[in-house]
Structure 1
Amino acid sequence: MTQHATTTAAPPLVLTDDEMRRVGELLYRWTGMIFGANKRYYIERRIAARMAHSGMPDARAYLGFAATDAAEREALINAFTINETYFYREEHQFAALARGMLPELIRTRRPGDLIRIWSMPCSTGEEAYSIAIWLLENWALVDAYNIEIVASDVDTAALDLARAGRYGARALARLPGHVIDRYFEPERGHRRKIIDDLRESVRFTPANIVDRATLAGLGRFDVILCRNLLIYFDDESRLLAASNMFDSLNSGGFVCLGHSESMARITDRFTMARLEDAIVYRKP
């Protein structure tokens, strides 16, 4: 009778309280997001995966490595970002863009003038492409102006997926059938690829809303969509993010936040604008 060796799975990683605090400190410094002890299991799983990938023998050694190695820092940030999104998410704000914000902005513009829109964070691209599709479908003056859409995120892996422009049924579920047929090419496995003309109309670039140095080269915008990010920040990071958004806007520009977020609770630098389709915030 032949005996076969049995393998024993490695025990799950258990971080000490000091290691948990260190993880939280690093992620907060790099992203502004809060990861506390209430997310211990989530944190331990991702740290364990990165330790295995990098060959670090223990959590202390790994955290020292991540703190000093730029590539590993990027990989760790990517492991902790949350990319829950889909096309036409909170579409009432796209309606507000076409029916309220843009008509207000073009009061002082001429046909052919540049209008810049920033999707931040853009995750895997659904929001930025949704902006382009919505305007093509719903704003009659879309071809009269030079619309530039810039999309940014701290998650470089998500940006790579956004540039590729391939999506499954779940991401496309809220799009009307004729919109899918018009802007997406069918691929195997019920997946779709966004058409090249639309994919090339959005510029994807890494940036961090709480790191002013990463925003310096982006210029100023007329509309910023920063939705469902500030809920992961503490008060200090929210104020820093709001200040950076303010400085990234042209005078009279607009900010759209998520439905559970309020700029009025963060700063009084913006004025609230109650449009027909949504409440947004404006730089005076």
Structure 2
Amino acid sequence: MTNNGSPGRPTGNEPLGSAELEELCAIIYARTGMVFGESKRYYIERRITDLMEASGAASVRAYVAMLKDDPRAVEPLINSFTVNETYFYREEHQLACLSRSILPDIIRTKKPGDRIRIWSMPCSSGEEPYSIAIWLLENWALVDAYNVEIIGSDIDTAILKQAAEAVYSQRSLSRLPDAVVRRYFEPEQDLPRRLIGDLRESVSFVKANLVDRASLSSLGKFDVIFCRNLLIYFDDAARETAVDNLHDFLAPGGYICLGHTESMTRISGLFEAARFPDAIVYRRAGGA
């Protein structure tokens, strides 16, 4: 393998040449907004080898041609390039901020029984949106006074199926207190553990792409959006599109939570920083 633009390790019956690498990266970018290039050659080669074998393509060139001719062939490609690093109660301080500061502010303009909509994306295998549901049951006394709707979305169709199944390993559960695991997961002698039915039904999962507005059109407005560790994978153009969509699908006065390395104030003037005791989050500017 080389990283200087020359063909790398063999993929199928030919090496992954610079032209094919560029075309593959362009397809991934067009569908996801995620930027890959020569520096990610080894990462790409490993995934393309398996995808080619599964598709029956005889060469890299034939596989690229298949991606261009058959939109159905692109879905496994996109699924293989998404990053699904997650576990329950990840960045717990933001969950604390949700129950102690964000929701108390949001319900100032709502009455008991009103709907509160929370969007988790990318939701990966479901740990994040289910964490929100568990946290609110455990830590927000008013959870039953409002109609809380939690939506999880991702562009990876395979991972969405895993999320709906809600079966988790010890690694996913490692941050949860034992009492919480016992309350919200089906009793099992061994791992993995499955989330109880009531909680599985409390979260809806949909395929959506933050840089493709058409895929978001049916989602409606949200009071809170968790969009953590996604914008870092975009270039400036894709990031601007993503942020515009986040703004448009966030209700006036709504909040967005980003990953700990991300800062909305460096990206857009559409949001203002909200500094709460537990976390710094972002509020849709101009909203009341």
TM range (shorter): over 0.9
SS of match in other structure, 2:84:
coil
Instruction: Tell me the secondary structure at the aligned position of residue 218 of structure 1.
Output: coil
Find the residue that maps to 2:186 and give its secondary structure.
Answer: strand
* Matched position secondary structure for 2:149: strand
The superposition leaves residues 117-147 of structure 1 with CA deviations (integer Å, 9 ceiling, x where unpaired) of: 0001000000000000000000000000000
Q: What is the Cα deviation at residue 177 of structure 1?
A: 0.2
CA distance, structure 1, for counterparts of residue 26 and residue 122 of structure 2:
21
- Summarize the alignment of residues 88-103 of structure 1 with structure 2, pairs less than 5 Å apart: 88-103=89-104
| CA deviation after TM superposition for structure 1 residue 70, in Å | 2.4
Query: CA separation of 1:177/1:70 partners in 2, compared to 1, >3 Å: closer, same or farther?
Result: same
Amino acid at match of 1:136: L
Stretches of 4+ aligned residues off by more than 3 angstroms: 186-189
Corresponding residue for 2:6? none
Letter in 1 for 2:159: A
Q: Is 1:236 matched up with 2:220?
A: no
TM norm structure 2: 0.93
Mean Cα displacement is larger for which, 49-58 or 61-70?
61-70
Greater mean deviation of Cα atoms: 102-111 or 184-193: 184-193
The gaps in structure 1 that reach 5 residues or longer are 1-10
Aligned residue for 2:37?
36
- Per-residue Cα deviation, 1:160-196 (whole angstroms, up to 9, x for no partner): 0000000000000000000000000134642100000
Q: After superposition, where does 1:1-284 map in structure 2 within 5 Å?
A: 12-13=10-11, 14-187=15-188, 189-283=190-284, 284=286
Q: Distance in 2 between matches of 1:106 and 1:29?
A: 39
3-state SS of paired residue (2:268): coil
What is the percent sequence identity of the aligned residues? 59
The C-alpha deviation readout for 1:22-60, integer Å capped at 9, x for no partner, is 111010000000111111111011111111111111111
- The gaps in structure 2 that reach 5 residues or longer are 1-8
Q: For this pair of structures, how many residues does the alignment match?
A: 274
Distance 1:188 1:69, change over 3 A: farther
SS of equivalent to 2:217: helix
Q: Take 1:282 and 1:64, find their aligned partners in 2: how far apart are those partners? A: 44
Letter in 1 for 2:192: R
> Aligned-pair distance for 1:68?
2.7
RMSD: 1.0
TM-score, with structure 1 as normaliser: 0.95
8 Å CA contact 2:10, 2:16 repeated in 1:
no
Kindly state the Cα deviation for residue 219 of structure 1 after the two structures are TM-superposed: 0.5
